[in-house]
Structure 1
């Protein structure tokens, strides 16, 4: 959908599906599962990312601020004072080649049945690999995306523990703490690629274990 800052702040919505419609492999698994597996092509989650483009003439801070508070926090930390061109001195020191666009990982959401298996970081890593071309870094602001039904459970201790767990997930694919709660992934480093391969191996192992028949 067109909007005022479409040339500066570019949204990406990645849909996570269980296989693909028409793929015999996934359809066979659906039949073998006795109806328990989702239909091939069923949506089981989504990711939202933003590409903050450099040198468009717009004020990049204003573009982020107009969209959401989390984006504003990230952009205000990484940009220079003008908000139009250039990154902050701290960002330039933290990133190997601080020239180019910035990719922002905004949200990773999975249906409850698919949580707790390490899918979130693995999917984020795959999306980053495909969308980060021309970006000098990827930024994320670890925070609680969902809250318990009983909001009284969300004490400050609960919130801090949740943020710590989420930060650990992003660290597992190459993010490092930067400033004011923002984490960065340096796209020039080899480590994120190696960590992505490790997450892939973990998921293959999980898939193999899930296909084994139960022991007597």
Structure 2
């Protein structure tokens, strides 16, 4: 595949093939409140080791620095809980998503809406929500944001009929109060374009959906891995050239 990167490969801080994902979710043995209906998953993307001899699966995640983070939620069906109330209690963005994909949200009927059922091939089961994706600045500009989002979705989406996201401005400049509505719209369009590249499609009210039953997301995930491989190969070529100087 054609390698697309906005920054020179020589500026990559490390070999992206050795980024490592660590998934974290904790819950009480006896769920209370909304614990059984809404699960929060935190994914840490650990930096590659400085020494190639340290590469392996036995690295201590507490010692390796995290250069990326992904936050997702699993909104579970069939728990007897009110999915809209669980989402609303967590954050405004999750409430927007729940209000858009569920029907009768304030009446306790938290089944999927007709519009959702029309767009999703098999609208039965849990809903995975992609909430936030963050990469440290030194790792940006190499097309890795969609790569880490697609990897996290692949691991956490089994049993989910769809993945939802609500593109929004996640970071603000120092002068946050100077951010205009035009700036916010521009940021949302940019983020939405990134998520479209891994299989999300526009739904309604700013919410985007990825249909886990469709082949396209799987093909796009495969393309993300090809991009990662090409990026790693280019990085190693640059490093070899630097070593021979």
TM-score interval, smaller chain? 0.7 to 0.9
Note the C-alpha offset of 1:41. Answer: 2.8
User: Which blocks of at least 5 consecutive residues in structure 1 are unaligned?
Assistant: 28-39
1:151 CA drift (Å): 2.2
Aligned residue for 1:11? 40
**SS of the residue 2:70 aligns to:** strand
> Which runs of structure 2 are paired with 1:1-216 in the superposition (5 Å)?
2=28, 4-19=33-48, 24=53, 26=55, 41-81=64-104, 82-211=107-236, 212=238, 213=241
Give the drift of 1:153: 4.2
Q: Which secondary structure does the structure 1 equivalent of 2:95 belong to?
A: helix
Shift of 1:42: 2.1
- Which runs of 5 or more structure 2 residues have no equivalent in the other structure? 1-26, 57-62
Runs (4+) of structure 1 moved beyond 4 Å?
20-23
Q: Distance in 2 between matches of 1:63 and 1:22?
A: 44
For the residues of structure 1 that align with 2:53 and 2:213, how far apart are their CA atoms?
A: 38
Per-residue CA deviations over 1:43-102 (Å, capped at 9, x if unaligned) read 112111000000211111110010000000001100011444410000000100000000
- Name the TM-score, length of structure 1 as normaliser: 0.87
Question: Does the Cα contact within 8 Å between 2:38 and 2:74 map onto a contact in 1?
Answer: yes
Count of residue correspondences: 205
Is the Cα contact below 8 Å between 1:173 and 1:192 reproduced in 2? yes
Shift of 1:118: 1.3
